[in-house]
Amino acid sequence: MARIDLNHIRHAYGANPKSDKDYALREVHHSFDDGGAYALLGPSGCGKTTLLNIISGLLHASHGQLLFDGKDVTRLSTQERNIAQVFQFPVIYDTMTVYDNLAFPLRNRGVAEADVDRKVRETLEMIDLASWAKRKARGLTADQKQKISLGRGLVRSDVNAILFDEPLTVIDPHMKWVLRSQLKQLHRRFGYTMIYVTHDQTEALTFAEKVVVMYDGEIVQIGTPAELFERPKHTFVGYFIGSPGMNVMPVAVDGRRARLGEQVIDLPGAPKAEGNGIELGIRPEYVRLGAKGMPVTVRKVEDIGRHKVVRASLEGREIAAILGEDDNVPADPHVTFDPAGINLYDKSWRVEMGA
Amino acid sequence: MEKTWNNKAWFMVLPVLVLVAFSAVIPLMTVVNYSVQDTFGGNQFFWAGAEWFEEMLHSDRFWAAMGRNLIFSAIILSIQIPLGIFIALNMPRKGWGVPVCLVLMALPLLIPWNVVGTIWQVFGRIDIGLLGYTLHALGFDYNYVNDPFDAWVTVIVMDVWHWTSLVVLLCYAGLVSIPDAFYQAAKIDGASRWAVFRYIQLPKMQRVLLIAVLLRFMDSFMIYTEPFVVTGGGPGNSTTFLSIDLVKMAVGQFDLGPAAAMSIIYFLIVLLLSWVFYTVMTNYDVEK
Amino acid sequence: MAGTRDAVVNADKDQMMRNAPAAERTAHGGLADAALARRMRRRGEESRFWWVVPTIYIIFLMLPIYWLINMSFKSNQEILGAFSLWPQNPTLRNYSVIFTDPSWYKGYINSIIYVVMNTVISISVALPAAYAFSRYRFLGDKHLFFWLLTNRMAPPAVFALPFFQLYSAFGLIDTHIAVALAHCLFNVPLAVWILEGFMSGVPKEIDETAYIDGYSFPRFFVKIFVPLIASGIGVAAFFTFMFSWVELLIARTLTTTDAKPIAAIMTRTVSASGMDWGVLAAAGVLTIIPGALVIWFVRNYIAKGFALGRV
């Protein structure tokens, strides 16, 4: 396993990139720690698969440097980088048995047959396919095939990292959960460096220790699931993570107070930025509905089981609030913002608030 | 796909049935009719039973033509199939090269067969043909008109020229259907070029290769026009394949009985092979 | 400056320390790391010479065609005289012979007429049949399909004489329709086969949705289904055109003068005064052009077409 450093990586698919728009990956400068489990999260087209393919060597970045454990691998081919990757659609070698599929990467590297056998048997146990060893890989179900793809990475105990490119896309919903928890277990037991690309926030938040959120060819935030939730660094993270996403509204800031139309909101601290182009973000979870505070008009209440989502209008803007399953909307509804959940944004990026 | 049982579908097949019956069944019945009769000219026919069939099956001429044809088909397959796969593997997958390759490679397939013969007849001539002239200038004693070996080489090279592209295009169709992820996974698994071919490309080409082998076998087994134009079946009988012999017998000598018997034996062989192929193919589909 | 260099050296040391365990880790009793790395490096290299193979092959394909074109622009004296790789005195005489003599250019028209007739007939009867095979099971369907395919495999030489007699009986000898019908022998099965492949790729739900939306079968077939398999029809038309265009044995047998194809007229160049090589070459070149045009139109579907829509 290895630590992976991305040094100012930029990538453009076209030959002569001129402006920022031509770059699929604008600039990524980041390190993945040895043994960490990371998720790359973002909407389609944000550059997350590009970044993954640059790490695996299927693509060579137009600019920048890639290090595995401090060793420059920028110019090395996929074969030399010694990584494993699981693709969106299961890739298996149809004509081989399950056993031979797993042995394939080892045999390609000239490993002695006795060691191959030992490693393959170990791996078959790890991915729960021991009883299928002699079967042709062709007739298996999608999740079994995807396990084989994973197994081909796991047999090589010296791989630098295991990369996943939306691996659960074609898996049945109930098997998704099973596979995800097996992955987590494998990570805990063997400490692989894992990078997992997905556009599904649940997948990302449950799998990873650290989530890397990408947007428009850039990394906008890296953090634990809790950090992403409490302190989104960019309004996009606020929208994208959480259901419903964060409420964002333009405010005028003056010291420790923010003005939203007629209303004045007390801030937990004085922000480093002042003026008009500031936005206030607050998650629906921190919007309290009650008899005091700012008056709102309730438009709709969606009951989604564990809680209710209240869609209301505050100073002419849509706002969402979360209400407990047993709570009711008051007759004359007002909202207050919990200061712990207030974030301020200048040009979409979060600004710190002093005490 | 799950198909529903519906005998009314017969009405949709009916036009095809009528048309093919007209252009296949009626002529075939004529052939059967001739094969069991004898004639002394005019319109008088006698019942001859299996006589012509016996004669054919004991005829050296028939077996010689059959032998030549089988050897020809075997050579053709052993050259065109590997060569076709090899070229398809080296074809570009994207960019401007793709349409250029496809169009140029398909060109020989759309040339009328006697023109193919003419092209090679001219190309191989030692006085006015580029190939014949060059070979002579280099000191080779090449002459397809007099030398049976040279005639064979010419006919085989001509067929390779004419038909290898069919194998190439079929294989290429199989290759482009392989998703990129397979090649990427193979890179990650450190597979050699050979392993990629053996475990990814070859399995995906299996089906189109079956079609290629069948088409090439059948068409080389029925070959008539091209060698007829180039060599006329000669020198001697050295390039007289089954079809050439059949047409000589039927149209040239008007030996209708033996020609019909030969047609039927010929057709039965083709039928048998088609059936074997069809069975293999349907089983392959079921397995999938 | 010195400070920076120190930092760099330290960083290098750091790297070495981190690399050390990695270097000791051998690939499970396999090759030594260095040898393995070399091997993997070689595998990582994409060949830069892939284009050599297609290029050589295309040159091999084009040379004989070039030679024919070359000859078509030479006079007979030049062809039979000094050997030259390109025309020394280019002439259009050979082409003007063909375009001014009706017995030549009519042959060209004849070929195109019966090929187009055959393509239209083959596709229009094959469409409903292919639909039946792709959507329904019915009594004897598999045997019928197989029997159709065997006709594609029938040797034309077997059919040449019976065809002559059959069409004589109907008084159809030397007509375009005779050749067009005769070519249906191998083209209809082929068209059914290709179209069935393409149609099987269209989900059955589309048919059902259309019926629920109140479409009658003919309207559904023409308005919805045919546009969906347009590329399949193009490919099938390409193949029927191709096989009808290149076939000569049957076409020649069934025609004498009025419907004689260009390819058969070419044999006329053998005359008492010897071969007219130039005109033969020019006629040959002209028979290549329609094929080349047709390929150009279907070039984007050709790969799928050659796999008969089933890959």
Domain ranges of chain A: 4-235, 243-351
Model confidence at B257: pLDDT above 80: no
The model's pTM: 0.81
Across the interface, do C136 and B111 touch by the CB < 8 Å criterion?
Answer: no
Residue A320 or residue A292, greater confidence: A320
Say which range, A150-164, A196-210, B236-250, has the weakest mean pLDDT: B236-250
Superfamily grouping for domain A243-351: Nucleic acid-binding proteins (2.40.50.140)
Whole-number pLDDT of residue C26 = 42
Across the interface, do B10 and C51 touch by the CB < 8 Å criterion?
Answer: no
Residues in chain B within 8 Å Cβ distance of A105: 188-190
CA separation for the pair A344, A257 (Å, rounded): 11
Residue C147 or residue C117, greater confidence: C117
CATH of domain B9-287: 1.10.3720.10
Whole-number pLDDT of residue C11 = 42
Whole-number pLDDT of residue B160 = 95
What's the rounded mean pLDDT across residues A140-164? Answer: 87
Model confidence at B84: pLDDT above 90: yes
Q: Are strands B37-39 and A247-254 parallel, antiparallel or unpaired?
A: unpaired
> For residues A227 and A211, is the Cβ–Cβ distance under 8 A?
no
Model confidence at A325: pLDDT above 60: yes
The span from the first CA to the last CA of chain B, in angstroms, equals 13
Across the interface, do A104 and B191 touch by the CB < 8 Å criterion?
Answer: yes
> If you count DSSP H runs as helices and E runs as strands, how many of each does chain B have, helices first?
14, 3
Nearest chain A CA: its distance from B96 CA (Å): 16
Nearest chain B CA: its distance from A56 CA (Å): 8
Model confidence at C56: pLDDT above 90: yes
Whole-number pLDDT of residue B287 = 59
Characterise A316 by phi-psi region: left (phi > 0), alpha (psi -120 to 50), beta (else): left
Predicted confidence band of residue B81 (pLDDT cuts 50, 70, 90): very high
Across the interface, do C136 and B6 touch by the CB < 8 Å criterion?
Answer: yes
Residues in chain B within 8 Å Cβ distance of A149: 185
Q: What is the CA radius of gyration of chain C?
A: 31
> Facing residues of A11 across strands?
A25
Q: For the segment C270-286, what is each residue's pLDDT rounded down to a tens digit? A: 555 567 788 888 888 98
Q: For the segment A85-127, what is each residue's pLDDT rounded down to a tens digit? A: 998 888 889 888 999 999 999 998 888 888 899 989 988 888 8
Q: Are strands C136-137 and B4-5 parallel, antiparallel or unpaired?
A: parallel
| CATH number for the domain harbouring residue C169 | 1.10.3720.10
Q: Taking the CB of residue B50, how many other CB atoms lie within 10 A of it?
A: 12
Query: Angle at Cα A99 formed by Cα A98 and Cα A103, nearest 5°?
Result: 120
Highest averaged pLDDT of the listed ranges A272-276, B40-44, B86-90, B140-144: B86-90
Q: For the segment A58-76, what is each residue's pLDDT rounded down to a tens digit? A: 888 888 899 898 888 888 8
The residue segments making up the domain with residue C125 are: 100-306
> For residues B178 and A84, is the Cβ–Cβ distance under 8 A?
no
Residues composing chain B: 288
**Mean pLDDT of all residues belonging to chain B:** 83
Nearest chain A CA: its distance from C309 CA (Å): 22
Q: Determine, yes or no, domain membership for C64.
A: no
Residue of B nearest to C295 (CA): B103
How is A22-67 classified by DSSP, letter by letter? Answer: G-SEEEEEEEEPTT-EEEEE--TTSSHHHHHHHHHTSS--SEEEEE
A74 in B contact zone (CB under 8 Å):
no
Predicted confidence band of residue C30 (pLDDT cuts 50, 70, 90): very low
Token readout for B254 is: 């008007």
CA separation for the pair C135, C145 (Å, rounded): 13
> Facing residues of A39 across strands?
A196, A211
> Facing residues of A253 across strands?
A258, A275
Chain A, residues 54-73, CB within 8 A of chain B, namely 56-58
Picking from C193, A252, A11, the residue whose alpha carbon sits closest to that of residue B278 is C193
Residue of B nearest to C253 (CA): B251
> If you count DSSP H runs as helices and E runs as strands, how many of each does chain A have, helices first?
9, 22
Q: Taking the CB of residue B72, how many other CB atoms lie within 10 A of it?
A: 21
Percent of chain A with pLDDT over 90: 9
Its CATH class, for the domain covering A4-235, is alpha beta
Give helix A142-154 / helix A173-190 axis angle, nearest 10°.
10
Q: For the segment A125-139, what is each residue's pLDDT rounded down to a tens digit? A: 888 888 888 888 887
Residues in chain A within 8 Å Cβ distance of B286: none
Say which range, A84-98, A244-258, B5-19, C38-52, has the weakest mean pLDDT: C38-52
Q: What is the CA radius of gyration of chain B?
A: 23
Highest averaged pLDDT of the listed ranges B40-49, B260-269, B277-286: B260-269
Provide the Cα torsion A338, A339, A341, A342; round to 10°.
Answer: 120
Residues in chain B within 8 Å Cβ distance of A93: 199-200, 203
Select the residue of C44, C131, C189 nearest B12 (Cβ to Cβ): C131
Highest averaged pLDDT of the listed ranges B73-82, C236-245, C264-273: B73-82
Residue of C nearest to A110 (CA): C30
CA separation for the pair B35, B56 (Å, rounded): 11
Predicted confidence band of residue C9 (pLDDT cuts 50, 70, 90): very low
Chain C, residues 12-41, CB within 8 A of chain B, namely 40
Phi, psi of A8 (to 5 degrees): 45, 55
Whole-number pLDDT of residue C269 = 61
Distances A165 to A1, A102, A162, A200, A219 between C-alpha atoms, Å: 19, 19, 10, 12, 17
Token readout for A124 is: 């078959």
Q: Determine, yes or no, domain membership for C129.
A: yes
- Which H or E run contains A264? strand A263-266
Q: Is the peptide bond prior to A244 cis by the omega test (within 30 degrees of 0)?
A: yes
Characterise A272 by phi-psi region: left (phi > 0), alpha (psi -120 to 50), beta (else): alpha
b/e A23-58 (16+ beta carbons within 10 angstroms → b): bbbbbbeeebebbbbbbbbbeeebbbbbbbbbbbbb
> Facing residues of B80 across strands?
none
Whole-number pLDDT of residue C1 = 40
Q: Is the peptide bond prior to B235 cis by the omega test (within 30 degrees of 0)?
A: yes
Neighbouring chains of A at 3+ CB pairs within 8 Å?
A: B, C
Q: For the segment B202-230, what is each residue's pLDDT rounded down to a tens digit? A: 988 887 888 888 888 888 888 888 888 88
Provide the Cα torsion B182, B183, B188, B194; round to 10°.
Answer: 110
Whole-number pLDDT of residue C287 = 87
- What is residue C8's DSSP assignment? H
Chain C, residues 107-146, CB within 8 A of chain B, namely 121, 125-126, 128-129, 131-139, 141, 144, 146
Predicted confidence band of residue C10 (pLDDT cuts 50, 70, 90): very low
Say which range, A308-322, B140-154, C80-94, has the weakest mean pLDDT: C80-94
Across the interface, do C19 and A69 touch by the CB < 8 Å criterion?
Answer: yes
CA separation for the pair B190, C37 (Å, rounded): 11
Model confidence at C19: pLDDT above 60: no
Select the residue of B91, B115, B118 nearest C54 (Cβ to Cβ): B91
C264 in B contact zone (CB under 8 Å):
yes
Longest distance between any two alpha carbons in chain C, whole Å: 106
Whole-number pLDDT of residue C137 = 86
Nearest chain A CA: its distance from C132 CA (Å): 30
Residue C123 or residue C85, greater confidence: C123
Whole-number pLDDT of residue C94 = 83
Whole-number pLDDT of residue C12 = 42
Token readout for C281 is: 């070459």
Report the domain count for chain C. Answer: 1
CA A19 to chain centre: 27
b/e A98-117 (16+ beta carbons within 10 angstroms → b): bbbbbbbbbbbbebeeeebe
Inter-chain Cβ pairs, chain A and chain B, closer than 8 A: 53
Highest averaged pLDDT of the listed ranges A281-295, B233-247, C292-306: A281-295
Select the residue of A2, A69, A158 nearest C27 (Cβ to Cβ): A158
Percent of chain A with pLDDT over 70: 99
Task: Tell me the residues of B at the A interface, defined by beta carbons under 8 Å apart.
Answer: 179, 181-182, 184-185, 187-192, 195, 199-200, 203
CA separation for the pair A302, B177 (Å, rounded): 46
Predicted confidence band of residue B170 (pLDDT cuts 50, 70, 90): confident
Across the interface, do B102 and C299 touch by the CB < 8 Å criterion?
Answer: yes
Residue B28 or residue C133, greater confidence: C133
Beta-carbon contacts of A167 under 8 Å, excluding residues fewer than 6 positions away, are A86, A87, A88, A146, A149, A150, A179, A196
> For residues A267 and A353, is the Cβ–Cβ distance under 8 A?
yes
C202 in B contact zone (CB under 8 Å):
no
What's the rounded mean pLDDT across residues B252-270? Answer: 78
**Mean pLDDT of all residues belonging to chain A:** 86
Across the interface, do A85 and B188 touch by the CB < 8 Å criterion?
Answer: yes
